[in-house]
Amino acid sequence: MSKKAKRRVALLGPQHTSPTLRSVLDRMEARGPIVLVSAGWQERESETGALQEHVGESITNLDLWPACEEAFESDHRLKQRMFDRYDHTRKLARVYRIRLSAELGALRTLLGRTDPAAPDDIVGPALVPAFEALRALDAYHAARAAELNDEVFAAVAQHAVVQRGRERVSKLLESAGTLLVAGGHVGILYNRMRMFGVADSLPPSTSVVGWSAGAMVLTERILLFHDSPPQGPGDAEILGPGFGLARGVVALPHASSRLALDDCARVALLARRLSPDLVVALDDGQAMTAVQGKGPWTFDGGARVLHPDGSVAAAELEEVA
């Protein structure tokens, strides 16, 4: 293939109930060999039988979960470094949530006093600085998380056991035609991919397809969201940066079950907060594809976009030209 070949990127909704991965691969004209990251499944990473059957061709699993567990077992300093990072990340998140609760509370109150689609002359002007403050807070937290990640993973990469793992991953990826990134635990998925340099080793022409949490880690920033988690009303929060293979978009898999998409004020708050990124709900059977991971995107299966006026509508190509 020509060195100038451009990467195709696809973000998909959940695949467990109604898998559409095979049809997406066909539409993308994705080629083999196919390599898989399923570290987000944790101990179940090797349970790929149903996926293999659906795709209908050979898939090579990078086996990042056991590689990391073995690395921790042989290098306790590495394990401690990663656990220290986890503790530091939690502390940053706690500070972030204190400020986030206040910013979101103010915006919810303001949006509850006006029409999000047509704010009045009193509340409307106040929304502008309120959203600017919220976006600045998100950006600040994302920058702190990125700084921590850069520092820790740069140090992790110097450990001999990790270097060997990265060499193995790089070798498997150098001839890969397509990389699949499955869902599962989004934080663990990101960490394992970052530790073993998956994005760094990816050839520029290799197509990439991610679903559920796999779609989230491919974007520029990972948003954790759930309007009604078991512990009570939830505030969507930025976990940190993703790998940036899909740019200018925030992926919301399982959106219909996790978000109150019929609540105009909530939708408006989320869409305007994440502006100028495109905020896309990706449910079962829904997908979006693009060349080089940027617009224009092609949408399949009824993928929907959350708009700043509080509406949720079927995505259209011209929205992201």
How wide is the angle at C-alpha 119 spanned by C-alphas 114 and 123, nearest 5°? 65
Which residues, in sequence order, are bridge partners of residue 229?
A: none
* Residue type at position 69: E
For residue 1, is pLDDT > 70? no
CA 314 to chain centre: 21
Helix axes 76-111, 264-273, angle to 10 degrees: 130
pLDDT tens-digit series, residues 100-156: 999 999 999 999 999 999 999 999 999 999 999 999 999 999 999 999 999 999 999
Q: Walk me through the domains of the chain, giving residue ranges and CATH numbers.
A: 8-320 (3.40.50.880)
- This prediction has a pTM of 0.92
Tokens 């594809």 label which residue? 289
Distance from C-alpha of 122 to C-alpha of 196, rounded to nearest angstrom = 52
- Burial (CB count <10 Å: 0-12, 13-18, 19+), residue 169: buried
Task: Return mean pLDDT, the chain.
Answer: 93
Distance from C-alpha of 271 to C-alpha of 305, rounded to nearest angstrom = 9
Closest to 168 in 3D by CA, of 147, 146, 197? 197
For residue 187, is pLDDT > 70? yes
pLDDT of residue 253: 96
pLDDT tens-digit series, residues 24-41: 999 999 998 999 999 999
